[in-house]
């Protein structure tokens, strides 16, 4: 086994050793209402550093507006030195945190402050998000009428017209509701994080009493745009899945509500680690989740523990990962990896 594979296997074992009580924590969830609040845009200061938060009318950092987890260090000054150019957001708004351009982070982090809506005596008129990057083309694409972000907002009682994006200039908000995030990505989650997803299931009437669709599904990444985080031999994994009685599903080709319904109707959900598997947050309690891992990570386990799922984590990587972003302002990220088909075949047989 190569050094890189040995380290990955060791990290995977450490990930699985994290206790359930560490993954789901009932920590404090403050929510404050700030008048004349200033929302700064996100600025990346290096491969592991990020800045951008909410400041009150006196220029003091609202600490619970900051993101938790994600492998980046928050570098926000305690006191703001007055921004030169701003724009005004009128009325009452909800601070939504950082809005990412990819599905998994949007699904989880884009909704991580929605828990607060049930605690307010007056509903905010809009949501203020910080764009994760200056290029918001993907975010806007996700907000098209048939885009998943548009549907996610609708299920929370909002439309895309209610969203304000802070991209390159700070926003000054008349009144801003600032809740603590209920999710520390890759670290831990608060029990109240699941409230939004329960609300979605209720609205779509997916209580599980009238299930349709396949009972065993494999969530494929083989048709996704680009090659990021894809198993190079996923077509072979799909063939093994079909032989074991699984139906191959490409979630991005289905309307978002249909994706939820397919997950909700399944008894077993399998797939390679990544954003598609985060859809299992909609699965029924007791659903078996078979995740083929190419890396260590706790986000999927957090979902499984929070939602009372039967999680099975398989360290499936074979061969050296191909990496991108090895220097400069980028972190190293897996571009492609190769799955051990013997391990995958055994898992389909054991856990179907």
Mean pLDDT over all residues of the chain? 89
Is the pLDDT assigned to residue 253 strictly greater than 70? yes
Identify the pLDDT of residue 47. Answer: 67
Give the model's confidence band at 13: pLDDT under 50 very low, under 70 low, under 90 confident, else very high. low
What residues does 338 pair with on adjacent strands? none
**pLDDT higher than 50, residue 229:** yes
Q: What is the pLDDT of residue 5?
A: 40
Give the phi and the psi of residue 155 in degrees, each rounded to 5: -70, -15
pLDDT digits over 134-168, tens only?
999 999 999 999 899 999 999 999 999 999 999 99
Q: Please compute the mean of the pLDDT values over residues 52-75 and round it to a whole number.
A: 91
Q: Token pair 């885009």 is at which residue?
A: 147
For tokens 């985080």, what's the residue?
Answer: 229
Instruction: List phi, psi (to 5°) of 232.
Output: -60, -30
Residue 208, SS3 per DSSP: coil
CB 168 within 8 A of CB 134: yes
> Does position 3 have pLDDT exceeding 70, yes or no?
no
| Mean pLDDT within 320-326 | 50
Residue 122 has pLDDT above 70, yes or no: yes
pLDDT class of 16 with cuts at 50, 70, 90: low
Cα 132 to Cα 327: distance, rounded to the nearest angstrom? 20
The burial of 78, by beta-carbon neighbours within 10 Å (0-12 exposed, 13-18 middle, 19 or more buried), is given as exposed
Give the tens place of pLDDT for each residue, 64-111: 999 998 777 788 999 998 767 899 999 999 999 999 999 999 999 999
Residue 53 contacts residue 62 (beta carbons within 8 Å): yes
Question: 34-38, 225-229, 316-320: which range is least confident on average?
Answer: 225-229
User: Tell me: the pLDDT tens digits for 216-226?
Assistant: 999 999 998 76
Report residue 326's pLDDT band, with 50, 70 and 90 as the boundaries: very low
Q: Check pLDDT > 90 for residue 312.
A: yes
Say whether pLDDT at 48 is over 80. no
pLDDT bracket for residue 290 (50, 70, 90):
very high
| Nearest Cα residue to 68 out of 166, 191, 187, 197 | 187
62-76, 117-131, 328-342: range with highest mean pLDDT: 117-131
pLDDT value of position 73? 73
pLDDT one-digit tens code per residue, 176-205: 999 999 999 999 999 999 999 999 999 999
Provide the pLDDT confidence category of residue 2 given band limits of 50, 70 and 90.
very low
Q: Please, which residues have CB within 8 angstroms of residue 236's CB and are 6 or more apart in sequence?
A: 339, 341
- Residue 74: per-residue pLDDT: 80
121-141: string of b/e by CB count within 10 Å (b at 16+)?
A: eeebebbbbbbbeeebebbee
Q: Tell me the pairing of strands 126-131 and 163-166.
A: parallel
- pLDDT at residue number 75: 86
pLDDT at 299 over 80: yes
Average pLDDT over residues 31-51: 90
Domains annotated for the chain, with CATH where assigned, are 3-23+209-351 (3.40.50), 31-181 (no CATH)
Looking at 237-246, 285-294, 324-333, which range is the least confident one?
Answer: 324-333
Instruction: Give residue 209's pLDDT band: very low, low, confident or very high (50, 70, 90).
Output: confident
């Amino acid at each position: 086994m190569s050094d890189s594979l040995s380290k990955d296997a060791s990290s995977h074992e450490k990930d699985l050793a994290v206790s359930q009580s560490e993954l789901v924590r009932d920590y404090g969830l403050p929510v404050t209402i700030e008048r004349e609040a200033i929302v700064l845009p996100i600025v990346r200061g290096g491969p592991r550093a990020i800045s951008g938060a909410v400041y009150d009318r006196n220029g003091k950092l609202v600490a619970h507006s900051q993101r938790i987890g994600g492998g980046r260090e928050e570098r926000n000054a305690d006191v703001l030195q007055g921004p030169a150019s701003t724009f005004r957001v009128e009325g009452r708004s909800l601070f939504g945190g950082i809005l990412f351009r990819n599905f998994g982070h949007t699904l989880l982090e884009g909704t991580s402050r929605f828990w607060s809506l049930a605690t307010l005596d007056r509903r905010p008129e809009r949501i203020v998000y910080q764009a994760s990057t200056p290029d918001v083309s993907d975010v806007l694409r996700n907000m098209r009428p048939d885009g998943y972000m548009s549907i996610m907002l609708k299920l929370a009682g909002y439309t895309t017209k209610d969203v304000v994006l802070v991209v390159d200039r700070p926003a000054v908000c008349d009144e801003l509701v600032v809740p603590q995030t209920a999710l520390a990505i890759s670290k831990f989650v608060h029990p109240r994080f699941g409230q939004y997803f329960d609300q979605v299931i209720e609205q779509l009437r997916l209580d599980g009493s009238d299930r349709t669709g396949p009972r065993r599904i494999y969530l494929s990444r083989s048709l996704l745009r680009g090659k990021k985080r894809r198993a190079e031999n996923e077509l072979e994994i799909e063939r093994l899945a079909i032989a074991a009685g699984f139906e191959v599903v490409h979630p991005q080709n289905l309307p978002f509500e249909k994706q939820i319904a397919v997950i909700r109707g399944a008894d077993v959900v399998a797939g390679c680690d990544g954003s598609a598997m985060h859809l299992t947050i909609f699965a029924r309690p007791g659903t078996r989740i078979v995740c083929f891992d190419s890396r260590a990570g706790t986000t999927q386990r957090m979902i499984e523990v929070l939602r009372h799922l039967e999680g099975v984590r398989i360290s499936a990587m074979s061969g050296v990962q191909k990496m991108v972003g090895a220097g400069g302002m980028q972190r190293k990220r897996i571009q492609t990896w190769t799955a051990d088909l013997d391990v995958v075949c055994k898992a389909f047989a054991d856990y179907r």
